[in-house]
């Protein structure tokens, strides 16, 4: 991790004399539909209609626009989705995470398109004693479409995000596939450059 941070610092220092668009940062939450399969079986099929099912996502991106007057940012992404089943006495929550590189593009100043891919891990939680909790690692990605409100450096994003992750569970070595389609709200710091 220290080596990665050192390489990143040197990379950005070498680019600092180059004319660039500037820093990018966003953070926020979303809610929507989520789906989880374990060993090819839909988890929702294990519960009756009395179970409350909730899907939530979290997103954070930090990066840099390397090219002056180009509406393009290269970012590092931390993303997550939680898919919870709760019947009032017991709960089962599937949590999948994404860490990796991504790209953000503004075809016009009002519209943001983004995508990321990278390493995934899970941290499931439950009140039941026999459910496994962790993964040996996996792959995840997300894509999003958002409307960007704000004319200067500070703005707000309202958009739609699709998140998907595939992980192999510890001990049992079965696959967990998690996905979510959500509406999100985020704060964004950036310099939007009009398309020439």
Q: What is the pLDDT of residues 9-32, one digit of tens each?
A: 454 444 444 444 789 999 999 999
**Confidence at residue 26, expressed as pLDDT on a 0 to 100 scale:** 96
- Per-residue model confidence as pLDDT tens digits over 21-64: 789 999 999 999 888 888 877 777 766 665 656 789 999 999 99
- Per-residue model confidence as pLDDT tens digits over 81-117: 998 877 777 778 888 999 999 999 999 888 999 999 9
**Confidence at residue 50, expressed as pLDDT on a 0 to 100 scale:** 55
Answer CATH for 21-189 from 2.40.160.20, 3.60.150.10, 3.30.428.10, 3.40.50.12280: 2.40.160.20
- Per-residue model confidence as pLDDT tens digits over 111-122: 999 999 999 998
**Confidence at residue 144, expressed as pLDDT on a 0 to 100 scale:** 97
Listed residue (84, 92, 96, 58) closest to 179, CA to CA: 96
Task: Indicate the average pLDDT of the chain.
Answer: 81
Report the alpha-carbon angle 148-34-130, nearest 5.
140
């Amino acid at each position: 991790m220290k080596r990665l941070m050192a390489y990143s610092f040197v990379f950005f220092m070498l680019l600092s004399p180059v004319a660039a668009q500037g820093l990018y940062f966003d953070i926020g939450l979303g809610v929507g539909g989520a789906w989880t399969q374990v060993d090819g079986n839909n988890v929702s099929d294990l519960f009756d209609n009395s179970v409350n099912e909730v899907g939530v996502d979290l997103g954070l991106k930090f990066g840099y626009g390397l090219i002056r007057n180009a509406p393009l940012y290269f970012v590092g992404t931390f993303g997550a989705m939680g898919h919870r089943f709760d019947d009032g006495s017991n709960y089962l929550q599937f949590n999948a995470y994404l860490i990796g590189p991504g790209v953000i593009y503004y075809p016009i100043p009002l519209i943001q398109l983004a995508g990321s891919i990278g390493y995934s891990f899970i941290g499931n939680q439950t009140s039941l004693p026999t459910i496994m909790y962790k993964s040996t690692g996996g792959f995840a990605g997300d894509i999003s479409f958002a409307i960007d409100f704000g004319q200067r450096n500070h703005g707000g994003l309202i958009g739609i995000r699709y998140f998907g992750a595939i992980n192999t569970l510890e001990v049992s070595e079965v696959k967990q596939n998690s996905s979510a389609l959500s509406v999100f709200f985020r704060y964004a710091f950036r310099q939007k450059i009009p398309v020439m």
